[in-house]
A and B are shown apart, each in its own frame.
Chain A
Amino acid sequence: MTDEVLEGTPQRTALKGLLARGIEGVRKGILGIAAIGFAMRDEGSGFILAAGGFAVAIFVVTLVFSYLAWTRLTYTIGDSDIRVESGILARAARAVPFERIQDVSLEQGFIPRLFGLVEVKFETGAGGKDDLKLAYLTEDDGEALRDLLRARRESAPVAANANANAETGEPEAAAEEAALLFTMGPRRVLTFGLFEFSLAAVAALAGAVQQFDFLLAFDFWDLDAWQKTLAGPGDWLAGLGFAARIIGIGLVVGTLLLVGLATGFVRTALREWGFRLERTARGLRRRRGLLTRTDVVMPVHRVQALRLGTGFLRRLFGWHSLKIVSLASDSGAANHEAAPFATMAEIAPIVATTGFALPDDDLEWHGVSRKYRIDRVLLSAAALVPVAIALPFVGEARLIPLPLAGLALIALHEYLRLRWDRHALGSQQLFTRHGWLAPSLAIGSRVKLQSVEIAQGPIALRRGYASLLLGLAGGRLRVRGMALAEARNWREAILTTIASQDFSQLSEPAKANTITPAAHSSPDYA
């Protein structure tokens, strides 16, 4: 109604929004209404009355509750933030600083649209459900509010600077040539497919045989019947001798392997065909796909962390993958594959482009607490040893080696993890490497972390180790089983780095770029 947004005084949302909510309520309850109508269909014309009455009841109840909520909902545009207070019984007050509002979007559902109403959404870095929403405002009020907030945001000095840069920088930068960073030709895609052997397809095939065995003339899984068939009248197969049986088994295994291999090939080719990763003005641009071609742009300043991975087989041939952890609010998955199958020499330039650096030789790597690994083995023992002891009592003494072998495997695994897992804190980045069969390395930027938590369970509290859980936008970054003193040192160091830059500086491209040269200067990525 009014074009101007009153500042400093609490405002209410549009009153006719109640009508929209009431109708929405009926729309959402339509299934229930239909169900009541259906249940009463034998009562003659009564069913229309019942369904109609139910619809009216929903409408009235929604209206009453919406009205109560409406009387208690106010929003205030302050000097530096927008505040929303709400709640009938439980009161909630939320304050969002202007600097944190990335954008204001107006959304219109079908019914609100009929009433000329909009829902105003304030997008912050938090992304998704935690974002602030105001429903419903009149279209004019919504637009006025959006304009006001955009103007406010730009008037904040830092943001204004960065915005100007982004605006002037964009047109000329768009003309700039895209530099090719990484590409996969048909040969590479097929090699990749070889390593993407699909165990799942093999399992699915075996499962299908089991599921649809009624289609087969015999019971596939009935070993006794097999033996009878082989030993009984049809012992022509057995008559062929031992070699033929080996060949038969070989054929089955071969078929399964072929299916797994073919599935891997096809799936990989469909997904990765014509893979191209380029550095453009807007960020890293990735195109791939045979039938459905996807085109994704990952803005460099939104890169939060990197993950290097490999497989236990492909590692022997020097193949690695690079994933980018990006701000959660990016469209689609927050985990982007920048190079799914590449050599380290190919990955290094991509890492440098994102403003990160691979670990260099000066880093001091640390292992996890020995106590942590020992405790994990002891915990497993506490579960498995009683099982081994109990087995003779239930008459299954011959199964005793099973839990013990499991325990031995767990102990070996924990020992190898103790040997292989390492973490290091660099001047700008932090690294954690874990796994021994197929080790993966996570590279995080110290300044781009959101929070630091030290968590200790009841055992950890007594044994003096802790998990360090880092708040990362769009992913997780954690070090388990650190010595408590080390965890505290890391936290202090990381918090000092975080304090050097505000979030709004991180989320602006122009500011983020200033970190890049420093990171570039460490070319040591062996």
Chain B
Amino acid sequence: MEETEPLTPLHPNHVKAMRLTAIIAAVPFTIAALAAEITRLLPWGVFLVPVALVAAIIIIRIPLRRYHARGYRLAEERLQVVRGMLFRRDTVVPFGRVQHIDVDQGPIERFYGLATLTLHTAGSHNASVSLPGLAHEDALAMRDEIRAAIRRDTQ
């Protein structure tokens, strides 16, 4: 059944959120590179050009690839989360094994109206499975759906 239906992609804002995170991470390196340029120890651009190149890849290319590598499928009382470009992880959590559910929003996620849904299980491996990059209201709706399913199971 699994491969017949395509994965649901994450919210497009997720790419923007990842890019913003990458930009913030790149700031100290850029400043350091600029400072190194000002010292004029080496010809112009030896520090700045590589830093700018790596930053450009991390900011422009990587978030898009990561976005396309990620996805989820909510069907048949289970949540399937796929993630990872190089190291691919394809996890399925049945609702019947969910202990509790978190909906978290970091500052950047809040800015873009996103949220991370985390399912906690009793297992030592995959004790918590996170799905980032959902629209906040989608995350809440998914939480309620999973909650309702747990309730049904026990009755």
Binding site for B on A (CB under 8 A): 80-81, 87, 89-97, 99-100, 124-127, 130, 132, 156-159, 327-328, 334, 449-458, 461, 469-478, 488, 491-492, 495, 498-499, 501-505
Given A97-B151, A502-B154: A453 and B92 within 8 A (CB)? Answer: yes
Judged by a CB distance under 8 angstroms, whether B110 is at the interface is: yes
A89 proximity list for chain B (CB < 8 A): 106-107
Instruction: With CB as the reference atom, state the residue of chain B lying closest to A469.
Output: B125
Distance in angstroms from B91 CB to nearest chain A CB is: 4
Judged by a CB distance under 8 angstroms, whether B127 is at the interface is: yes
Q: Give the complex CA separation of A475 and B125 in angstroms.
A: 8
B90 proximity list for chain A (CB < 8 A): 453-456
Judged by a CB distance under 8 angstroms, whether B143 is at the interface is: yes
Judged by a CB distance under 8 angstroms, whether B43 is at the interface is: no
Q: Give the complex CA separation of A455 and B92 in angstroms.
A: 11
Q: Which of B13-21, B33-41, B59-67, B116-124 contacts A (4 or more CB under 8 A)?
A: B116-124
Main secondary structure of the interface of B (DSSP, over half): mixed
Q: Give the complex CA separation of A461 and B91 in angstroms.
A: 16
Given A453-B90, A455-B88: A471 and B2 within 8 A (CB)? Answer: no
Instruction: With CB as the reference atom, state the residue of chain B lying closest to A452.
Output: B92
Q: When the two chains form their complex, are residues B126 and A499 in contact, meaning their CB atoms are under 8 A apart?
A: no
Distance in angstroms from B43 CB to nearest chain A CB is: 33
Q: When the two chains form their complex, are residues B92 and A495 in contact, meaning their CB atoms are under 8 A apart?
A: yes
Q: When the two chains form their complex, are residues A94 and B102 in contact, meaning their CB atoms are under 8 A apart?
A: yes
Q: Give the complex CA separation of A452 and B104 in angstroms.
A: 23
Q: When the two chains form their complex, are residues B123 and A450 in contact, meaning their CB atoms are under 8 A apart?
A: yes
Distance in angstroms from A249 CB to nearest chain B CB is: 48
Q: When the two chains form their complex, are residues A124 and B125 in contact, meaning their CB atoms are under 8 A apart?
A: no
Distance in angstroms from A437 CB to nearest chain B CB is: 26
A504 proximity list for chain B (CB < 8 A): 153-154
Distance in angstroms from A178 CB to nearest chain B CB is: 29
Which one of A327, A451, A488 contacts B97 once the chains associate, using CB atoms below 8 Å?
A: A451
B124 proximity list for chain A (CB < 8 A): 328, 334, 471-476
B129 proximity list for chain A (CB < 8 A): 451
Which one of B89, B105, B150 contacts A502 once the chains associate, using CB atoms below 8 Å?
A: B150
The 8 listed contacts between A and B (C-beta, < 8 Å) are A81-B147, A91-B110, A100-B99, A126-B99, A461-B88, A471-B122, A471-B124, A478-B125
Distance in angstroms from A247 CB to nearest chain B CB is: 53
A158 proximity list for chain B (CB < 8 A): 154-155
Q: Give the complex CA separation of A505 and B90 in angstroms.
A: 27
Distance in angstroms from A444 CB to nearest chain B CB is: 11
Distance in angstroms from A90 CB to nearest chain B CB is: 5
Q: When the two chains form their complex, are residues B102 and A93 in contact, meaning their CB atoms are under 8 A apart?
A: yes
Q: Give the complex CA separation of A461 and B90 in angstroms.
A: 12
Residues of B within 8 A of A (CB-CB), count: 45
Which one of A157, A471, A498 contacts B155 once the chains associate, using CB atoms below 8 Å?
A: A157
Distance in angstroms from A471 CB to nearest chain B CB is: 3
Which one of A95, A476, A491, A502 contacts B100 once the chains associate, using CB atoms below 8 Å?
A: A95
Given A95-B147, A328-B124, A498-B96: A457 and B87 within 8 A (CB)? Answer: yes
Q: When the two chains form their complex, are residues A458 and B87 in contact, meaning their CB atoms are under 8 A apart?
A: yes
A505 proximity list for chain B (CB < 8 A): 154
Q: When the two chains form their complex, are residues A488 and B2 in contact, meaning their CB atoms are under 8 A apart?
A: yes
Given A450-B126, A455-B87, A471-B126: A96 and B121 within 8 A (CB)? Answer: no
Judged by a CB distance under 8 angstroms, whether B130 is at the interface is: no
B87 proximity list for chain A (CB < 8 A): 455-458
A453 proximity list for chain B (CB < 8 A): 89-92, 125-126
Q: Give the complex CA separation of A470 and B124 in angstroms.
A: 9
Distance in angstroms from A475 CB to nearest chain B CB is: 6
Known A93-B104, A156-B154; 12 more pairs at CB < 8 Å:
A90-B104, A90-B107, A93-B103, A93-B143, A334-B124, A451-B97, A451-B129, A461-B88, A470-B123, A474-B124, A499-B96, A503-B98
Judged by a CB distance under 8 angstroms, whether B73 is at the interface is: no
Judged by a CB distance under 8 angstroms, whether B77 is at the interface is: yes
A478 proximity list for chain B (CB < 8 A): 125
Instruction: With CB as the reference atom, state the residue of chain B lying closest to A130.
Output: B120
Q: When the two chains form their complex, are residues B88 and A328 in contact, meaning their CB atoms are under 8 A apart?
A: no
A469 proximity list for chain B (CB < 8 A): 125-126
Q: Give the complex CA separation of A328 and B124 in angstroms.
A: 8
Q: When the two chains form their complex, are residues B123 and A471 in contact, meaning their CB atoms are under 8 A apart?
A: yes
Q: When the two chains form their complex, are residues A94 and B100 in contact, meaning their CB atoms are under 8 A apart?
A: yes
Q: Give chain B interface residues in 41-98, CB to chain A under 8 Å.
A: 76-78, 86-94, 96-98
Instruction: With CB as the reference atom, state the residue of chain A lying closest to B92.
Output: A452
Judged by a CB distance under 8 angstroms, whether B7 is at the interface is: no
Given A461-B88, A504-B154: A327 and B122 within 8 A (CB)? Answer: yes
Judged by a CB distance under 8 angstroms, whether B101 is at the interface is: yes
B30 proximity list for chain A (CB < 8 A): none
Q: Give the complex CA separation of A212 and B58 in angstroms.
A: 54
B98 proximity list for chain A (CB < 8 A): 100, 503
Most chain A CB atoms below 10 A, which of B77, B97, B127, B155: B97
Q: When the two chains form their complex, are residues A100 and B100 in contact, meaning their CB atoms are under 8 A apart?
A: yes
B125 proximity list for chain A (CB < 8 A): 451, 453, 469-472, 476-478
Distance in angstroms from B68 CB to nearest chain A CB is: 15
B102 proximity list for chain A (CB < 8 A): 92-95
B105 proximity list for chain A (CB < 8 A): 87, 90-92
Q: Give the complex CA separation of A95 and B117 in angstroms.
A: 11
A471 proximity list for chain B (CB < 8 A): 93, 97, 121-127
Q: Give the complex CA separation of A474 and B121 in angstroms.
A: 11
Instruction: With CB as the reference atom, state the residue of chain B lying closest to A328.
Output: B124
Q: When the two chains form their complex, are residues B127 and A498 in contact, meaning their CB atoms are under 8 A apart?
A: no
A473 proximity list for chain B (CB < 8 A): 122-124
Q: Give the complex CA separation of A132 and B118 in angstroms.
A: 14
